[in-house]
Amino acid sequence: MRIRRLLGMLVVVTMVFAFSSMAVGKDLLFADYKAVEVQEFEVPPHVPAPDTSGDQLAENIVYQVRRYAQKYGIFEIIIKEGTAEVPAGKKTLLIRGEVAEYTHPTVGGRIGRSFIPFGEHTGTAYFAAKYQFIDKETGQVIHEEFLRTSSTGAEDTVDYAMLRNAEAAAKVMYSVEK
């Protein structure tokens, strides 16, 4: 009986190690880049968003990518365009895009969600942006992504939805190649 239990535990541990090594063995999408430069995002005239939201999103992306860079140690330099120069010889990833949605929270939405079990924990503010990840040297678009995020119940603001959007972009950068 003990041998069966021991063999069962050994099989489970072996499977865990096998799956974790498979995940670690894959290449990251932007692993060969050493620097990240973020441009201010465009705010098209048809999107009801403040003109400063493109700059604020760029600042949030720099912050979130730095957080993940500290955790995973991939990028050496992460800057907003125009704040500093990337040293020559560093392969640079350029991030740019445009704001697609900027929706303020609504009282009606909050009231409606309060009738749903645990619905009061969801937010009613939304933010969306189109991202382009570009090799700065060649100008080639490497990856495009459309990200839409919402706020949460405790932080029901567009600013928080925008911060979550920047975090989603950082997660895309650190995700495994598709």
State which amino acid sits at residue 120. Answer: E
Q: Return per-residue pLDDT of the chain as tens, 178 residues.
A: 677 776 666 666 666 665 544 444 345 778 788 999 999 999 999 998 898 999 999 999 999 999 988 888 888 899 998 888 888 888 999 999 999 998 876 655 555 555 566 555 556 788 999 999 999 999 999 999 999 998 876 677 888 889 999 999 999 888 755 4
Confidence at residue 120, expressed as pLDDT on a 0 to 100 scale: 55
What would the two tokens of residue 87 be? Answer: 């040293």
Q: Is 41 domain-assigned?
A: yes
Q: Is 87 domain-assigned?
A: yes
Q: Is 21 domain-assigned?
A: no
Domain that holds residue 160: 29-173
Q: Which own/partner contact pairs does 70-74 have at CB distance under 8 Å and 24+ positions apart?
A: 72/174, 74/28, 74/30, 74/31, 74/174
Confidence at residue 114, expressed as pLDDT on a 0 to 100 scale: 56
Confidence at residue 150, expressed as pLDDT on a 0 to 100 scale: 83
CB-CB contact of 37 with 97 (8 Å): no
Q: Distance (Å, rounded) from C-alpha 101 to C-alpha 129?
A: 7
Q: Distance (Å, rounded) from C-alpha 168 to C-alpha 93?
A: 17
Q: How many domains does the chain have?
A: 1
The CATH number given to whatever domain includes residue 91 is 3.40.50
Confidence at residue 12, expressed as pLDDT on a 0 to 100 scale: 65
Q: What is the dihedral of CA 60, 130, 108, 123, to 10 degrees?
A: -50
CB-CB contact of 151 with 129 (8 Å): no
Q: Distance (Å, rounded) from C-alpha 75 to C-alpha 25?
A: 19
Angle, helices 158-173 vs 53-72, to 10°: value is 40
H-run or E-run covering 21? helix 2-25
What would the two tokens of residue 45 be? Answer: 């005239």
Alpha helices in 26-156 (DSSP H): 53-72, 107-114
Confidence at residue 80, expressed as pLDDT on a 0 to 100 scale: 92
Q: Is 126 domain-assigned?
A: yes
Q: Is 2 domain-assigned?
A: no
- pTM of the full predicted structure? 0.75
Q: Is 136 domain-assigned?
A: yes
Q: Distance (Å, rounded) from C-alpha 64 to C-alpha 75?
A: 12
